[in-house]
Amino acid sequence: MKKIVSIAFLVLVLGCGPRDLVKNQNWGNALGTTYSIIYIADETLDYQQEIDSVFQVLNQSMSTYIPTSDISKINEGDTTIVVDDMFREVFTVSTKVHEASNGYFDPTVGVLANAWGFGPGEQLELDSLRVDSLLQYVGWEKVKMNADNTISRTSPSIRFDFNAVAKGYAIDRLGALLDQKGITNYLVEVGGEVLAKGTNRISGNEWTVGIDDPQVETGRQLKRIVTLKDRAMASSGNYRKFRVDPETGEKYVHTINPKTGYTKNSSIMATSVVAKTCAVADAFATSFMAMDLDASKEVLNKHDELEAYIIYLDENGNTQEFFTDGFAALVKQ
């Protein structure tokens, strides 16, 4: 139920600034997407080796596309794996968001992601009976982290898939790396998800981030521009990540409703969530794609720490926008 290509990307205005400040930047490919990390300092720095290490450790822990990763071994039935700190933290975040979203965020949808053709496993021919049979292997209440940091599952067919939270968590770890280095002004972006700390001291402005218009399927056009400081933002949308059956022409979007087992084709076109950490923003952005708008509003009313922007179609098929008050205040006019 997770996008691969995010709907947000950076709009960076880096003008001429004070001579004693240096814009340091690392960029490349990781986690199946691209990344860009900008950090302002009073000297030239290069943390590429440390950045690569963060991605390497995260992949070894949670990549379902690496057969030797911990999560892949657990999915294949290895009950002896002692998970690392990263896995434990993502497991804890997943538990909290699962509860807060009334079960719409559920990383045990791995078996369904594979079946619908959005995972590393075998794609299946699905009908209502097959979907119902797979649903017995979905449910966060069916997995447990033990005291010895091993993982238990009620069935060996249950498969973890942290794609809806791991990218955001990676950004948080990269931010923690920069914090440890004493960097107080930076912008970390991985696949469109972002974490902003401090300000862009070279331009003298807050960090500025753009959100794509979900109705523009070719190329990119901004729908909104927001400013961020000491916060993270993650976005999700179905408009670019979908699969079309070559025989029937039917379109299957990648957001999977863990309650029904079906891919979600709803009036929700795209979501953006602002939170203190990118892992939390990432997980809720995905959850709101699977939920109806009213259900998302109920969750947001209970969680003042979240701000959200949801693009949707009304009953007449017209595009509408919902903002929490806090998110509206971030929008650059």
pLDDT, tens digit (0-9, with 9 covering 90-100), for 86-119: 999 999 999 999 999 999 999 998 788 777 776 6
Q: Give 33's strand partners.
A: 30
Over residues 3-16, the mean pLDDT reads 43
Contact 272, 235 (CB under 8 A): yes
> Over pLDDT 90: what percentage of the chain?
67
pLDDT band at 220 (very low <50, low <70, confident <90, very high): confident
The DSSP secondary-structure symbol of 205 reads B
pLDDT at position 212 over 90 = no
Query: 77 or 3: whose pLDDT is higher?
Result: 77
pLDDT at position 208 over 70 = yes
pLDDT band at 5 (very low <50, low <70, confident <90, very high): very low
User: Which has the minimum average pLDDT: 22-31, 191-200, 237-246, 255-264?
Assistant: 237-246
Q: Where are the beta strands (DSSP E) in the chain?
A: 8-10, 22-30, 33-41, 143-145, 151-153, 186-190, 193-197, 207-212, 222-228, 231-237, 242-244, 251-253, 268-275, 307-313, 319-323
Residue 28 neighbours by CB under 8 Å, 6+ apart: 34, 35
Q: Where are the domains of the chain?
A: 8-328
pLDDT digits (tens, 9 = 90+) for 257-285: 888 877 756 678 899 999 999 999 999 99
Q: Collapse the DSSP code of 171 into the 3-class scheme (helix H, G, I; strand E, B; otherwise coil) and give the result.
A: helix
Over residues 34-42, the mean pLDDT reads 97
Q: Is the dihedral of CA 275, 193, 105, 148 positive or negative?
A: negative
Q: What is the CATH code of the structural domain delimited by 8-328?
A: 3.10.520.10
pLDDT band at 9 (very low <50, low <70, confident <90, very high): very low
Alpha helix (H) residue ranges in 80-165: 85-100, 110-115, 128-135
Q: Collapse the DSSP code of 263 into the 3-class scheme (helix H, G, I; strand E, B; otherwise coil) and give the result.
A: strand
Question: CA separation (Å) from 307 to 11, 102, 203, 228?
Answer: 20, 18, 26, 12
pLDDT at position 196 over 90 = yes
Over residues 296-301, the mean pLDDT reads 97
